[in-house]
Amino acid sequence: MPNGDSTSRRAGRMATAGLLANILLAALKLVAGIAGRSSALVADAVESMTDILGSIVIWGGLRYGRRPPDEDHPFGHGRAESLAALAVGAMVVLAGVALAVKSVRELLAPSSTPAAFTLLVLVVVVVVKEVLFRVAHRTGTEVGSTAVKIDAWHHRSDAITSVAAFIGISVALIGGEGWESADPWAALLASGVVAFNGVVLFRTPFRELMDEQPHDLRARIDAVALEIDGVRSVEKTFVRKLGMRYLAEMHVRVDGDLPVREGHAIAGRVRAGVRERLPRIADVLIHVEPEPTGQVADGERLPTPGT
């Protein structure tokens, strides 16, 4: 696996590519929507403008999160990534609400039939956005970046609104006179999709900031620790996500009659083993506890308090 700096740079390049694409597509949709008299396409352009702001926030969060630990931030600055992702989720929800308000106003006002060329613009947008989604989601998964994956779903959300606009414009064109309102109705439908996606996107970074435990990763850490010679049991393990990597804290139990030096050596082997086997673990803090005689069999993990 690439080191932390290379994965951060890769994530940053993905965010930059998304930002440039959003700028170009938003300009294209806005011009085409105004020239083609399409409320749905203009609404889609407005949603893309929030994509631009979102990509800037993601890019800034990734850049700030790459800063090394310092005296005031001994655990590093990785939480900036989760904060950026949280902000983008909130922005998507607000964009959906704004689009809904605009769509209702359009429905209450006289509508005109959109121009046919706007459909071609939307086809281009959907294809580009779907490609961006797939590339960004794969990158975010490979480097372990929640922010990049949030940005990827932002691209997918934009593709969905463009599909809705395509359907609305097509209905208005095919239906002719009396079907002009299909365009703003499509925009209203798209606003609901955008707001829903924003709520979904908000949840993951919120859980990270609240230190929700990744139970699968905890189990893998415990399994590695229990393979280390001298570890009798694992009392408890806590894991928190910071940016693209994790910090872990473990309480392992060893023979209570061992000298302090040997207990320290076992802790060192556990730390090295976990970091080697699970590269996403940036560091592990080990607490060595004496195992009470007759309470726990070798290789057993004690229940974590509160679980």
pLDDT tens string 130-181: 898 999 888 888 877 777 887 888 788 778 778 877 888 788 788 877 776 7
Flag whether 149 is in a domain: yes
Instruction: Note down the domain range covering 68.
Output: 4-209
**Domain shared by 32 and 178, yes or no:** yes
Flag whether 15 is in a domain: yes
**Mean pLDDT along residues 197-222:** 86
| Selection from 69, 70, 62 nearest residue 243 by Cα | 62
**Domain shared by 295 and 235, yes or no:** yes
Please give the Cα distance from 52 to 81 (Å, whole number).
17
Please give the Cα distance from 153 to 201 (Å, whole number).
8
**Mean pLDDT along residues 52-61:** 80
**Domain shared by 241 and 146, yes or no:** no
pLDDT tens digits, one per residue of 83-134: 888 888 888 788 788 778 877 877 777 666 777 888 888 898 889 888 989 9
**Quick one: pLDDT band at residue 211, thresholds 50, 70, 90?**
confident
The three-class DSSP label of residue 290 is strand
**Quick one: pLDDT band at residue 40, thresholds 50, 70, 90?**
low
| Selection from 210, 224, 241 nearest residue 286 by Cα | 224
The pLDDT score that the predictor gives to residue 300 is 53
**Domain shared by 183 and 249, yes or no:** no
Three-state secondary structure of 69-90: CCCCCCCCCCHHHHHHHHHHHH
**Quick one: pLDDT band at residue 231, thresholds 50, 70, 90?**
very high
CATH number at residue 220: 3.30.70.1350
Total domains, the chain:
2
DSSP E strand stretches across 147-222: none
Cα atoms in the Cβ-side hemisphere of radius 13 Å centred on 150 = 33
Least confident piece of the model among 16-25, 172-181, 298-307: 298-307
**Domain shared by 205 and 219, yes or no:** no
Q: In what order do the strands lie in the sheet with 300-301?
A: 281-291, 245-255, 233-242, 300-301
CA distances from 189 to 25, 102, 183 (A): 21, 12, 10
Q: Choose the final residue of a domain: 152, 177, 209.
A: 209
Flag whether 118 is in a domain: yes
The pLDDT score that the predictor gives to residue 74 is 81
Residue written as token pair 């890769």: 10
| Selection from 214, 246, 242, 238 nearest residue 286 by Cα | 238
What one-letter code names the amino acid at 209? Answer: L
Flag whether 307 is in a domain: no
Backbone angles phi, psi at 242, to 5 degrees: -130, 100
Spatial neighbors of 237 by CB under 8 A, at least 6 apart, are 218, 221, 222, 225, 248, 249, 250, 251, 304
**Domain shared by 112 and 223, yes or no:** no
Q: Choose the final residue of a domain: 189, 209, 229.
A: 209
**Quick one: pLDDT band at residue 272, thresholds 50, 70, 90?**
very high
Share of the chain above pLDDT 70, in %: 89
Is 5 a residue whose pLDDT tops 50?
Answer: yes
Backbone angles phi, psi at 256, to 5 degrees: -65, -15
Indicate the average pLDDT of the chain: 81
**Domain shared by 75 and 46, yes or no:** yes
Rg of the chain over Cα atoms, rounded to whole angstroms, equals 25
CATH number at residue 164: 1.20.1510.10
Residue written as token pair 């023979």: 255
**Domain shared by 53 and 104, yes or no:** yes
